[in-house]
Amino acid sequence: MANKVTNSILFQGDLKKQGPYFEGWYFKSVSADEKTVLSLIPGISLTDEDPHCFIQYSYVHSGEALEKELRTGYIRYPLSAFICNRRPFVLKVGNSVFSETLVSVHLEDADFQIEGILKLGHFQTIKRTPASPSIMGFFAYIPNMECYHGVISMNHAIDGTVAIGTKTRDFTGGKGYLEKDWGTSFPQEYVWIQCNHFQDEGTSLFFSVAKIPFRGSSFEGFICSFIVDGIEYRFATYNRSKFTLGLLTDDRIEIEVSHASASLTICAEVLHGGALLAPTEKGMNKIVKEGLSGIVTVDFTDKKTGKNYHDVGNVAGIEVVR
């Protein structure tokens, strides 16, 4: 159990247990020129009515004259098509394989195909301690929560090409991101922001705030990891950080997080959203809009050193569910 808690990438579930239960890995890849974004989400959905595994995909390509090619899809497989090895971690869904070092994707969705191999570089991981074994802090140890979250790599290099539809897209020299979720359902209300394409190539951001059911009641919980100059700053409910919402619409979010040592303001703008399916206790049946190439502006202050940092990030992943 402890090994699972400290290694979010591992399969946390049990195919033999009765649902409702879901688990999904989010592999995001962005080309070096930032014109192509491909996100692949392998996972399982266990319900009495419809147990199955799946691969979701979202793809956006920015062509000339600012036109956008956008495609999302959900490909179902029987549970027998889900095979997950623990050490080393290797996940196989259908003919596609996902690991810590590569993604080999082979998808057919009606008249649309995705096929290719991407090599993954060294993962930029977050800080972990016995008291805070994952991005969820001590909440990672609490059983029967609605949704658990793991941030596996804030940033890593990718190399390879992928045939998407009728075009071959080159991801050599690009960047990747990897996270996952598992539990019984996504939160009813949440905001999620991810970006690792700032002007400073080493800067990465993850942020999420959600309404979290807990012991018959609920609370607003948030987590934020911000990496700049090789240092991770963690803002979260569990370390007594403060969260202020300045603006929240379907297309724009303005928030501030802070604690005694640092403060961070995030302004996020949703662009070119695609429809994805999210889990509920009834299965993968909730439609959410994910911004695939949003813009994120950050203003950071290290209160101990007085250092100020400003940057703008592109091709950000953004979801607003209200």
Residues 28-51 have pLDDT tens digits of 999 999 999 999 999 999 999 999
Over residues 2-30, the pLDDT tens digits come to 589 999 999 999 998 888 999 999 999 99
Which pLDDT band holds residue 302 (cuts at 50, 70, 90)?
very high
Which pLDDT band holds residue 78 (cuts at 50, 70, 90)?
very high
Contact, 278 vs 286, CB < 8 A? Answer: yes
- 12 sits in which H/E element: none
What was the pLDDT predicted at 63?
A: 85
What was the pLDDT predicted at 54?
A: 98
Rounded mean pLDDT, 152-176: 98
Any idea which residue has 């409910």 for tokens? 237
What was the pLDDT predicted at 216?
A: 81
Integer Cα distance of 112 and 273 in angstroms: 19
Rounded mean pLDDT, 213-241: 95
Over residues 154-164, the pLDDT tens digits come to 999 999 999 99
Give me the chain's average pLDDT, please. 95
Q: Worst-scoring range by mean pLDDT, 33-42, 62-71, 184-193, 238-247? A: 62-71
The shares of helix, strand and coil residues in the chain, as percent rounded to the nearest 5, are: 5, 65, 30
Does pTM surpass 0.75? Answer: yes
What was the pLDDT predicted at 85?
A: 96
Which pLDDT band holds residue 82 (cuts at 50, 70, 90)?
very high
Which pLDDT band holds residue 175 (cuts at 50, 70, 90)?
very high
Integer Cα distance of 99 and 120 in angstroms: 9
Contact, 174 vs 118, CB < 8 A? Answer: no
Rounded mean pLDDT, 184-200: 97
Which pLDDT band holds residue 171 (cuts at 50, 70, 90)?
very high
**Residues above pLDDT 90, as percent of the chain:** 90
What was the pLDDT predicted at 18?
A: 86
pLDDT of 239 above 90: yes
What was the pLDDT predicted at 266?
A: 98
**Phi, psi at 79, each rounded to 5°:** -60, -30
pLDDT of 65 above 90: no
